[in-house]
Structure 1
Amino acid sequence: CGRHLLVSYLRTSNRSDSRHSWAILALLVKFIRQYWPNTRIVFRGDSGFYRPRLLSWCDRNNVDYLVGISKNSRLLKDVEAPSKLVRDTHQKVGDKIAATYRFRYQARSWKYPRWVVARLEEGELGSNPRFVISSRYDDGFKLYYEQYCARGDMENRIKDQQLYLFADRTSSVQWWTNQWRLILSGFAYTLFERLRAHLKKTPFERMSASNLRLKLIKVGAVIIRNTRRIRVLMSDSYPYKDELTDLVRRLVPG
């Protein structure tokens, strides 16, 4: 949800990508609506989270969704005409051309049709269509590029936790041990997010956890303690001394 971590859940390697996603989503929706009953909730995920029963649950519980769906022969047939227009335009101008096309589609496992947004792209390597299922009737460009593609920032947050906060250290043969390590990594991520909250309107606001740790946390200093005070002496060549001083002042209670 934005930059905030909601769940840290580890699947076993022999389970599907969307294992337990339905149950987790139901718990999150129940919790959110206890405190914010009128908040619009949007479930967004790639094609790994496409499950017809999950979408039906969202429809019944007033949860909007933007979920990718793998291309198939029926979807490709439905976009033949707009795909030809994109292809012809590419042949005329020579540059990569992309457009969106919104249409109604019903798979065999669906009880009713849903809106599908097709991203049609034509370039030097040929056509590259992508499809997204949407619960809302809205502009195709807005749905795909502004809302669905925004999940790329979420992927960066996941990478932040995996690479720099050691969420990938799951080498134990016991599932619970690895899950506990993932939870600890989630705690660390949450602490960094709270740190970023005190760094608004500074160059550090959107830095990765790796850069924050390198520039503001892993800092060499000499600590001198006596009966009256504790002094922290930093090197004059440390380039972020003023920023760190301001951050410490913000973190001091009162």
Structure 2
Amino acid sequence: MTWDLVAKADPNHFPETTPAMNDLTPPLSGLSSVGGKSVFARFDGGMLSSNSGVLALAEVEKRLRVAERLARCIDDPRCPDQVVHSLADMIGFRMKMIAAGYEDGNDANRLRCDPIFKMAQDALPSGRDLASQSTMCRLENLPGVRELVAMGRAMVDLYCASFRQVPKRIVLDIDDTFDAVHGGQQLRLFNAHHDEYGFQPIVVFDGDGRFVGAVLRPAKRPSGAEIRPHLRRLVRAIRSNWPNTRILIRADSHYCSPPVIDWCRANDVDFILGVAPTTTLRKHVADLKASTLARFETSSKTGKVRRFTEFVDGAASWSRVERIIARVEIGDQGADTRFVVTNLAGGKAKALYADLYCRRGAAENHIKSWKTHLAADRTSCTRATANQFRLFLHAGAYWMMWACAPRCPSARALPSPNSTRCVCASSRSPRGWSR
């Protein structure tokens, strides 16, 4: 109001930039010239945003249709003629918030007015605001158990749809990760190893870093009776899309149990699983360990000596003996022996362990990206169903980031000084979008 009165009182006060009589944002006077040029500061720049990258994520989401897939799994109890924000719009807004670094639902109160987020949701910057925090809270508490099971199936369908052609073989990396909680959430459990209360969800990625699924569960080691139904639903959903694709399950010793091994054999599923060392297993490699130690003693002792072997054996609780591969490593810090069990018939012991099993370490990096960069461990809702839904929301954000990664420029895309041609980044799917 003050600036408007000045402009009316002295229309020649700003001879080059006199605002109109109804302009409420005239320029700021009194700024010194720079290089002989006059400097004017104005306050009519319009709506601004620092989240322009969300528009790229919006294009990816339109192709993946993650929000639409998840929204179709939820029964909307609202009256259709009174709906302002559809379920797909709210889910899409929430996933884009997470991908942009706004993992808290409270951020919706500020971002609902952001012009970029509005455009990402196919709304004009001057149009209606997006959903608020209270609306997001009601959304997260809306799905029940049946809806969440359907969402898990939808995530598998999204995974299968991400391939251009049906693969002959896929590798599924199954792992669990600790998720600390600081409230009275359902399913929380004290974990002595981490000395905290929390969850320990089971997360599944494929060998190329695609997200396949996640299940919220208490913070304890999963049993075979718990893992088997999860594998059954997962494999059944994949085979409904790809009946003839071979599936290899790869996991650490947490998942090596008689129910899992027997189920994989009965359902024609390949597996390679870590095995906890036992006295019986160590007896099989006693001679190899002694000869490996002798080699290390006669060497320069600057590196490590690794040797591999295989044999057939089984625990007393197993229904049959299995092929077991052992790796013996001797270094300056002592001996380290590892075992894996597999039903794969071919391949040498070294290749199966070093080139196949050890690649499951990439899944830990994917989980790290999911938790560190997308805050997937922000499971602060009271109800377990709401926290499970959050895992799917963060999974959708991961999918958007993963799909964007091959299209982002890399250091290899920069032209060399002696070249006029730009070397394009690889179009191959990355093993981790966060690298």
Give the shorter-chain TM-score range.
0.7 to 0.9
Q: Is the 8 A contact 2:209 2:430 kept in 1?
A: no
Compute the RMSD of aligned alpha carbons: 2.2
Count of residue correspondences: 211
Change (3 A) 1:14 1:207: closer
Partner residue, 2:321: 113
Partner residue, 2:425: 202
TM-score normalised by length of structure 2: 0.46
Partner residue, 1:178: 387
Does residue 97 (structure 1) correspond to residue 305 (structure 2)? The answer is yes
Q: Distance in 2 between matches of 1:37 and 1:203?
A: 30
Does residue 50 (structure 1) correspond to residue 273 (structure 2)? The answer is no
1:72 aligned residue (268, 278, 282) = 278
The C-alpha deviation readout for 1:45-68, integer Å capped at 9, x for no partner, is 001111111101101111110000
Amino acid at match of 2:285: V
Aligned ranges for residues 232-243 of structure 1 at < 5 Å?
A: none
The C-alpha deviation readout for 1:115-172, integer Å capped at 9, x for no partner, is 0011100111111000000111321111101110011111111111011011011233
| Structure 1 residues not aligned, in runs of 5+ | 212-254
Partner residue, 1:140: 349
Q: Distance in 2 between matches of 1:126 and 1:87?
A: 9
Q: Distance in 2 between matches of 1:14 and 1:194?
A: 32
| Structure 2 residues not aligned, in runs of 5+ | 1-205, 410-423
Q: Distance in 1 between matches of 2:240 and 2:277?
A: 38
Shift of 1:14: 4.6
Q: Distance in 1 between matches of 2:304 and 2:430?
A: 31
Partner residue, 1:81: 287
Shift of 1:13: 2.0
Shift of 1:18: 6.3
The C-alpha deviation readout for 1:78-135, integer Å capped at 9, x for no partner, is 1111111111111111231011111101110112110001110011111100000011
Partner residue, 2:378: 169
Partner residue, 2:116: none
Which SS does the other structure have where 2:271 is aligned? Answer: strand
Change (3 A) 1:13 1:173: farther
Change (3 A) 1:210 1:64: closer
Which SS does the other structure have where 1:178 is aligned? Answer: helix
Q: Distance in 2 between matches of 1:74 and 1:121?
A: 18
Q: Percent identity?
A: 30
Q: Is the 8 A contact 1:165 1:209 kept in 2?
A: no
Q: Is the 8 A contact 2:225 2:259 kept in 1?
A: no
1:40 aligned residue (232, 246, 251) = 246
Partner residue, 2:330: 122
Q: Distance in 1 between matches of 2:280 and 2:382?
A: 43
Q: Is the 8 A contact 1:12 1:175 kept in 2?
A: no
Structure ID, larger Rg? 2
Amino acid at match of 1:99: R
Partner residue, 2:268: 62
Aligned ranges for residues 238-249 of structure 1 at < 5 Å?
A: none
Shift of 1:40: 1.3
